Amino acid sequence: MNPCHETQREAGPQAAASPPRHWRNLEPETVYTELLHPADLFFEIHGRSFSELCEHALYALFHNIAELDSVMPRSTQTLQASASAPAEALRRLVAEALVLFDAEHFLAAGCQVDVSNTAPLTLTAVLWGEMFDPRRHELLSEIKAVTRHQLAADQEKTGRWRATILLDV
């Protein structure tokens, strides 16, 4: 038994032609709120669409891993995650981004997420960023895992999306 869920990754060392808005231009409080938790990082995340919610969740992850201002969009990495429920698909995508940093030391500075609504729900994220360089990048928190605790992703009556996600530190 080798545990493996539906997540894939493609690397692209080439410079990205047109990266999306750099995360340094985002105001964190417009993207996510940190909720009170005794030991770990617990976030409430918002988005106008499910794809924007996923982008904001990836931002919340990397915003807590490193100071993002100095991360440049020099190359791309593509991640894919699937699940039947939006919350689990989101969790798997963020978890895969965490592995990308922890194993490959890739820091993202922006991303774009596409959602395919065919069953199972499939998320494809293109992340723009670069490899961690201890001389230029300041790291903040070591994140162990993206937990399933109080995990949620729901569309509100307004049409906006809201998620809660808890990172074990």
Residues that bind other proteins (CB under 8 A): 1-5, 34, 36-41, 65, 95, 99, 101-105, 132, 134, 138-142, 144-150, 168-169
* Cβ 57 to other proteins shortest distance, Å: 16
Helix (H, G, I), strand (E, B) or coil at 2: coil
Q: What single letter denotes the amino acid at residue 91?
A: R
* Cβ 41 to other proteins shortest distance, Å: 7
CB nearer other proteins, residue 44 or residue 132:
132
Helix (H, G, I), strand (E, B) or coil at 124: strand
Between CA 59 and CA 27 the distance in angstroms is: 11
* Cβ 52 to other proteins shortest distance, Å: 25
20 CB burial (10 A radius; 0-12, 13-18, 19+): middle
CB nearer other proteins, residue 33 or residue 51:
33
Say how many residues make up the chain: 169
77: its two tokens? 């990495």
CB nearer other proteins, residue 17 or residue 103:
103
CB nearer other proteins, residue 38 or residue 159:
38
